[in-house]
Chain A
């Protein structure tokens, strides 16, 4: 187990460093005058030059990346023209746009994203796996055809359509819930949940479709296996066969898909965040890319990468718990 952890952590560090290099290179070769964009359209050439100087934009790529690494390990002091700001390790730099520390920015946005994705994950697992099990059980009957239709519709409908419809109906017409507004969990857990209910639901409905289809296929595969036949031949009831034997065998691919989708949704739920006005990572990332705010982009991408890697490590542990034949290595 300790060997597994050590290897996983080392692997994660290497992966994240590689990601940061790629982001630096991509932004370096992307055309466009970063200093001009950062400074704004009304800046004079002299001001633009000054901004470029201040942001080290004229330095070669490797020097800028080296600065980034130094900041990460040892922290760094930044002069913002008038004052000097100290950014302690792990420092991801300052935003070109706001001079705010990227780490602080992330810490502000991350709880929003995690709140959204965690809650949605619980819902999409319940909805998706439940639907999948039900349609495998009722295979070929009306129930299954209905469920297949609904999940197909789920995959095909964009999140903003589902989200808008939900908002209009639930908040507008029926007035069951207030229009969502983010409330921090630490401030008021009850309001936190009520306000996030609709975002959770709309994100979960989209994701659940994929889980339903995967669970159904995986269940059908397991149900065709020999050991299921054994228990049928010994008079074990269908409920126990589905719930105890087939579901457990069918879970492995579901765990894998969940790890990827969870990690992806931390930074990728942009539409949901935008629609419901949630100030999360995804929204911030899109904004930062638009204004070529390199430190923010790198920081956000690293956080997202971290969650993808971590979610996959958790999935591997869950594999080993679910199936004793799996050895962690």
Chain B
């Protein structure tokens, strides 16, 4: 149906970018970038946040027009001079010849209209199709991207779709007009790892069938390795290294590329340093038969169901699971922020009621978990004051000590959260957790909002603190590689239950539960050759 090969393709490349610069005020987001993409080829722009990779993607469609950004250099996409083309030509390019898929599939669709109508609207912008024909086309492309029962589901609104289905719908929208180029800006970042694998596989198949070019923007080197022929590593708006994917990832020439690759946690490599090295001794916390329900009556469902676990002094328990698996709910019950519906949490052998200062929590989002109107010093001092400390001198002294302990400077006391980077803010969050002299810290996705290099630093710091203070850690995360790199023991959660638990290396090297196997097969591999093997393996491992 969509195998209309664009015959007599001109000799020019699909994308030709030379000496591209983008300035936002005084900030140069992209600085002298040159690259080209042949028809049907796939290129990944890889970089950490602030590297300018998404800015490049937007610039290809001329989305900076009218925003005050200054774009310099030359951009040609599918024969259109994006910088100089009239508005009308640009509109025909957008969605017609080059279509974009965005990161967050929930917010990228209009919540008020049916998905089929949104796709039909885009289709009608580019063709003279009737309403009915456009609607039929929408159903066709939805079916094409693997939405079951597409006729009926095309009438659903975005909130009625799961994250993976929404991303499929966005890809369907991109396919509607059979573009020559697909620009995918972090297309799988908001998705679970198994869903990510499905979406990457879908993109792969579509590319094989339609021959469209792909420009993939991602921070995740693994995602790039799975999907493209060439990689361009970006940093501070400049190209660091550019070449075939196997060369750049296999034998990086630039120090930054090596650093970046070195920081990527690997799921196949055992943990470098294990916890305190001591044999598990004293039990710090014990949970038995934990269950937590939300909602009442017919709508009630158990987010966590019959979970029991034990945490020893000085060890790290990794809890891994996809979204909705109940891992955050479990973490909150361990800290006492949520009361279990059934079961109990025993701390030091005693049944625990409410919050205990010896069990602290580090939250996922370092931006929203700090009060923006209070200095970080004051935020860190909160647990001290809550404990009854009154001597201002002592409090200041202790907070300064904590700031230094987490790798910040004592003088940061009076600064406000917005003055810090994401990684620094997470350090503040950790300092706040340490303030109450805890014996156990539950970290809920502590590094998932951070870049890989920052992530590696924060993980290393947590390890050091653990060894120095003999802390027990519960590390909740969706990222299997991160969990392997931090944990002594691992619990895999699915639908509120622990499906597999054991020493990290055993669970990872010899998974018993089919779900664990499926999760591990879905992790993107850094080596393109392994990626091909995993893709084949995934086809055989589909747990419903």
Contacts and interface: CB of A to CB of B under 8 A. Distances in A.
B112 to A, nearest CB: 5
Given A236-B121, A236-B122, A230 B109 contact: yes
Contacts of B273: none
A326 to B, nearest CB: 10
Interface residues of B, number: 28
Nearest to B156: A324
Contact of A226 (B93, B96, B107, B125): B107
B126 A235 contact: yes
A304 B63 CA distance: 50
Interface string A224-242: 0111011111111100100
Pick from B92, B93, B104, B121 the residue with the most CB of A within 10 Å: B121
A233 B94 contact: yes
Contacts of A111: none
B111 A323 contact: yes
A138 interface: no
A244 B122 CA distance: 13
B102 interface: yes
Given A227-B111, A323-B111, A325-B111, A233 B92 contact: no
Interface string B159-174: 1000000000010010
Interface in A7-38: none
A232 B108 CA distance: 11
Given A236-B121, A236-B122, A231 B110 contact: yes
Nearest to B157: A324
Chain A interface: which size bin? 20 to 34
Given A226-B104, A229-B63, A240-B121, A234 B95 contact: yes
Contacts of A130: none
Contacts of A227: 107-111
Nearest to B106: A226
B335 interface: no
Contacts of B110: 227, 230-231, 245, 248-249
A122 interface: no
Contacts of B109: 227, 230
Nearest to A228: B110
Contact of B112 (A231, A237, A323): A323
A111 to B, nearest CB: 37
Pick from A226, A237, A322, A325 the residue with the most CB of B within 10 Å: A226
7 contacts: A226-B107, A230-B102, A230-B108, A233-B61, A233-B95, A235-B126, A245-B112
Interface of B: 61, 63, 90-96, 99-100, 102, 104, 107-113, 121-122, 125-126, 157, 159, 170, 173
Given A232-B63, A236-B121, 5 more contacts: A226-B107, A227-B109, A231-B110, A244-B121, A325-B157
